[in-house]
Amino acid sequence: MSLFLQIDLPAALTGTLAAICCALLGNFLLLRRQSLLGDAISHTVLPGIVVGFLVFGTRSAGPMLLGAVVAALVAAVLIELVKRYGRLEPGAAMGVVFSVMFALGVLLIELAAVHSVDLDAQCVLYGQLEDILWLGPQTMGDLLKPGMWGGFPREATTLAIITVIVALAIAVFFKELRITAFDPELATSLGIPAGAVHFATTALVAVAAVASFEAVGSILVVAMLVCPAATARMFTDRLSTQVWLSAGFAVIVGVGGYVLGAFGPMWIGLDNSVSAAGMMTVLAGAMMALAIFTAPNHGVIAKRLRALSLSAGVAREDLLAMLYRLEENKAGVALSAENIRAALGGGAPPRIALRRARRRGEITLAKIGAGLTDAGRAEARRLVRTHRLWETYLVNELGLRPDHVHSTAETLEHVTTEAMARELRRQTDEATDPHGKPIPD
């Protein structure tokens, strides 16, 4: 228990707080199509950190955080200027600005000879999550002692404070954030300073990113600004629900990623653990990939099933209309299931259409061929009536040639409601369509 409280709990809690903090802000970056702003900030804060060190002469968190925020705001202004006057898309504008500012930061380090600043690549990329320890508690009962929390890790405390600030800011200014994210021009017309809200959001992103760098590194920061919000977006179309879901996914990523990174290799017989921040990033990406395929609203599988169901519904209606026209023409042609599937184009939709029509009692299917039941004939008559009403309307009202309206009417007949059909009949008093076919009552 003491090892869990001293080693695993502070590291997992710090990673989870960083994930939640970044995920909450990522929702609004996603709506603005600026999800890579976190990546840009991770590059642009470098000159701010260096200048903060040069001005104040200390490596404490306060001056460097102040310099990073100022640099992030300068970068936000430059991105807007480059995008507006350079006529570049947002991604290209971000790439130009953060590349130049990152190079400027490296140049400042070299010119000022401030190599003592701890900005080595491993720290910046992966953080030092495994080095976060809490040597105080030995048992769960120790957590109830107020004096024990005095030695709580600084990184976790800082991230906890920033997470609370971010959550409160979103709760208080949710309306303003939502409107400016969806439509900045509308927000301005309503008296909401869209520019100020944008720069405040950028400042919060910069604070969250800089606070998270030391603990989890820039890779996890960028992933948390994108993946939880994008994953939540696959499950809902409501922003408030998306914000809650993104926070929940961030908790899963923080806790699950740490557990898999610390103990997963041992479960498969390996001796060493892997980077907890790296495993959190992998888990975030895996969750997003899973959501892309399985989400009930916007997932690939759900979309394919809806498209297949729609195609089968259209094929069923085409089947009924085809059998009705055969009866109407007294063709005496008996269509087998194979003939029907071939006539409807083959594939899965015609097979599903046949099953649906039989299950609804609209057709009979025997060795001699398919036929309409009374229920199927009534539905087929409605479809043919709608089709011929549309042909008549397109010829009479729009002046199209009779031989050019069939395909359009065939598409419209599947989306015509009863009210639309009544309005078509009100405007069309002919008994036959432009081809001389009777319009069924």
Whole-Å CA distances, 400 to 52, 106, 412, 414: 73, 68, 15, 20
Question: How many Å apart are CA 398 and CA 84, to the nearest integer?
Answer: 44
For the segment 384-435, what is each residue's pLDDT rounded down to a tens digit? 898 988 988 888 888 889 888 888 988 988 888 888 888 888 887 778 888 8
* Greater pLDDT, 65 or 258: 258
Look up residue 392 and give its two tokens: 């008549």
Residues of the chain with pLDDT > 90, as a percent, come to 12
Cα 284 to Cα 196, 281, 287, 425, distances in angstroms = 31, 5, 5, 56
- Asked if residue 200 has pLDDT above 90, the reply is no
Question: Does pTM surpass 0.75?
Answer: yes
Please say if the pLDDT value at position 336 is more than 50.
yes
Spell out the SS3 assignment of 38-57. HHHHHHHHHHHHHHHHHHHC
Residue 76 has pLDDT above 50, yes or no: yes
Average pLDDT of the residues in 230-258: 91
Closest CA to 352 of 378, 389, 313, 385: 313
- The two structure tokens encoding residue 279: 């495993």
Angle subtended by helix axes 276-294 and 194-233, to nearest 10:
80
Q: Token match 């603990």: residue? A: 215
CATH of region 307-372: 1.10.10
Tell me the mean pLDDT in the region 104-116. 64
Instruction: Indicate whether 114 pLDDT > 50.
Output: no
The β-bridge partners of 364 are 371
For the chain, the structural domain boundaries read 2-226, 307-372, 373-441
Higher pLDDT, 379 or 215: 379
CATH of range 373-441; options 3.30.2350.10, 2.130.10.10, 1.10.60.10, 3.40.50.720: 1.10.60.10
* Structure tokens that stand for 27 in this block: 């929702």
Query: What amino acid occupies position 300?
Result: V
**Residue 229 vs residue 270, higher pLDDT:** 229
Average pLDDT for 351-366: 85
Cα–Cα distance, 229 to 331 (Å, whole number): 59
Q: How far is CA 137 from CA 3, 140, 145, 350, in A?
A: 9, 7, 9, 67
Query: What phi, psi does 36 have (nearest 5°)?
Result: -85, 5
Report residue 110 as tokens: 């070299």
Neighbour tally for 2: CB within 10 Å = 11
